Structures are given as C-alpha cells and as structure tokens.
C-alpha cells in the first residue's frame, strides 16, 4: 500500500493522498509532507478525542477519535544542503575509533532544514569528541542539553537533545539526540569534551531525572536541594492551586479542560 503511494510512476486513480504528495513537493525543504509520510515515523503516543472530550459524557462523537502522534523518523538519502557531507565526514571520522557509524548511530532525521543524529547512549562520548575534534566537523560550541520526556514511547522515554554549532565551518548546526528508558535513566556525561555542559546536564537531571554518568557534581541546580521529584517530567503535575474569584473557583491550568 505504501509502495503505491510513493511510486511516482504508478497509474492509480487520484485519491485523497495525492494532494498531499503535491504539497510535499512544494514544502519539501521545510515540512515533512504530512505526519507519517516519512518512511518510518516514530510513534510517541496516541491522541484520543478532540476538544478535550473522550468517550463517556461526550455526545459529539469526536470522543471516539484515535490518532497516533507521529514524529518524523529516519530520512532517506540524499539529505540535502550540507547534511550529506556532514554525515559522510562523521562516518569517516568515526572509522577506527571506539565506535563505528553503524554501531553508534541509530538513524538520521532531516526535517525542517535541521539534521538530527540519533546516537546510542553508550557511544555518545566518542561521537561527540569526534564532532569537536575532527577538522571538517569542528563543532566548537555545544549549546546545551535539552531533555524531553515521552511517557508513551516505552523503552525510550527520556530524550536528551544536544545542539552543536560550528563557528569555523560557517555556522553549521547539528542536533544529536540520545534516548534512555525510564527504568535505567543513565546517559554518559559529555562534560569531559564540552565543559560548558556542566550546568545544562545538572538542569536536565534536576528537571527530568536523567543521570549523567561521569558528571563531576550532579546536583540540583534550579530546585531546592532537597526537592523530591523531577518537575518537567510529564507525570509531574504543574502544581498550581485553584484560584478564587468572586462567585467561582478556577482550577489550575493542568486540570482544566483543554483541546487535545
């Protein structure tokens, strides 16, 4: 079925998916054609219903809607722009090192004009070291770690996203994404390669509970030192209190009805 859609030479009747193909051509640089049309999109959850209604008291019928939430997955070559050369340089630089390209890299996504290299967490430090040291790559600045929590992506709940900037190679940017499961939230620390990541990793530990092995002093940085829990995880409540107005009481933002 998907072969027929992607095969430009096929002669089938014009269907609802064809307009999306045209749009895909038009916005190829900036958007994935439509959610789910990159070859292997990643499922990170499921959207149930609309307008905050789920089946039960809902009479609109929208409560029965079930749609998967898809993030762009692996992109096929050629990536476009400087990304191909970047991937080739990285592959070449990893040869003979602690990990080869196929061992370290899970897949590469090119989406909205940005390249994301999904790296296996065991091999993060050699990849990052090569990114910094290899003359063709030379990403001197790591702008930090950003944690993201996908509670429904079992086995890969916690993502740590690193962004790199190369000043000498004309302001190229690349993103490295590492995942770890909730029950084993360990990712090697890259402070030995990029000392600037010190506080960023502390913040990601504080907010998400990702433990960075090898960090010199992984302690809370934003919350008080004895705070329980990791606030920016999706299973941590927003923590607000209901607000009293004249004649009414409004619940805090995470308990209000919301659009899905």
Q: How many residues bind another protein (CB under 8 A)?
A: 72
Residue from 5, 35, 62, 214 touching another protein (CB under 8 A): that is: 35
Residue 245 in the binding site for another protein (CB under 8 A): yes
Q: Provide, rounded to whole angstroms, the least separation between the CB of residue 41 and another protein.
A: 9
Beta bridge partners of 77: none
Residue from 24, 44, 65, 74 touching another protein (CB under 8 A): that is: 44
Residue 24 in the binding site for another protein (CB under 8 A): no
Per-residue contact flags (x/-) with another protein for residues 71 to 90, judged by CB under 8 A? xx------------------
Q: Are 34 and 16 in contact (CB under 8 A)?
A: no
Residue 65 in the binding site for another protein (CB under 8 A): no
Q: Where are the alpha helices (DSSP H) in the chain?
A: 2-6, 16-26, 83-94, 101-104, 124-133, 197-208
Report the phi/psi class of residue 99: left, alpha or beta, with left for phi > 0 and alpha for psi in -120 to 50.
Answer: beta
First CA to last CA distance, the chain: 29
Q: Provide, rounded to whole angstroms, the least separation between the CB of residue 203 and another protein.
A: 8
- Reading the block at residue 33, the tokens are 């054609």
Q: Report DSSP letters for 25-87, one per residue.
A: HHTTTTS-SSTT-SSEEEEEEEEE-STT--TTT--SSGGG-EEEEEEEEEPPSP--TTHHHHH
DSSP state of 251: P
Region of 13-21, 24-32, 91-99, 120-128 interacting with another protein (CB under 8 A):
24-32
Q: Provide, rounded to whole angstroms, the least separation between the CB of residue 111 and another protein.
A: 5
Q: Which is nearer to another protein, 155 or 229 (CB)?
A: 229
Site for another protein in 218-237 (CB under 8 A): 220-227, 231-232, 236-237
Residue 53 in the binding site for another protein (CB under 8 A): no
Report the b/e string of 87-98 with b at 16+ CB within 10 A. Answer: bebbeebbeeee
Residue 43 in the binding site for another protein (CB under 8 A): no
Q: Which is nearer to another protein, 6 or 27 (CB)?
A: 27
Q: Which residue has 């004309």 as its token pair?
A: 170
Site for another protein in 145-204 (CB under 8 A): 146-149, 161, 163, 165, 167, 170-171, 173, 175, 194-200, 203
Per-residue contact flags (x/-) with another protein for residues 110 to 149, judged by CB under 8 A? -xxxx-x-----------------------xxxxx-xxxx
């Amino acid at each position: 079925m998907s072969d027929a859609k992607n095969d430009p030479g096929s002669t089938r009747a014009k269907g609802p998916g064809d307009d999306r193909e045209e749009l895909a051509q038009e916005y190829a640089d900036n958007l994935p054609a439509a959610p789910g049309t990159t070859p292997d999109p990643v499922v990170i959850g499921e959207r149930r219903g609309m307008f905050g209604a789920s089946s039960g008291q809902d009479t609109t019928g929208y409560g029965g809607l079930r749609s998967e939430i898809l993030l762009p997955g692996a992109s096929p070559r050629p990536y476009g722009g400087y990304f191909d050369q970047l991937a080739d340089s990285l592959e070449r630089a990893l040869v003979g090192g602690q990990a080869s390209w196929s061992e370290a890299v899970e897949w590469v996504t090119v989406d909205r004009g940005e390249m994301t290299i999904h790296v296996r967490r065991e091999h993060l430090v050699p990849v990052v070291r090569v990114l910094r040291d290899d003359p063709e790559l030379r990403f001197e600045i790591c702008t930090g770690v950003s944690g993201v929590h996908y509670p429904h992506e079992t086995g890969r709940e916690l993502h740590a996203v690193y962004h790199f900037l190369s000043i000498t190679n004309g302001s190229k940017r690349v993103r490295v994404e590492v995942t770890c499961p909730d029950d084993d939230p360990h990712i090697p620390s890259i402070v030995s390669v990029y000392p600037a990541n010190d506080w960023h990793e502390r913040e990601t530990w504080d907010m998400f509970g990702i433990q960075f092995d090898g960090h010199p002093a992984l302690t809370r940085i934003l919350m008080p030192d004895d705070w329980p829990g990791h606030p920016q995880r999706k299973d941590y409540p927003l923590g607000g209190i209901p607000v009293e107005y004249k004649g009414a009481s409004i619940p805090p933002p995470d308990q209000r009805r919301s659009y899905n």
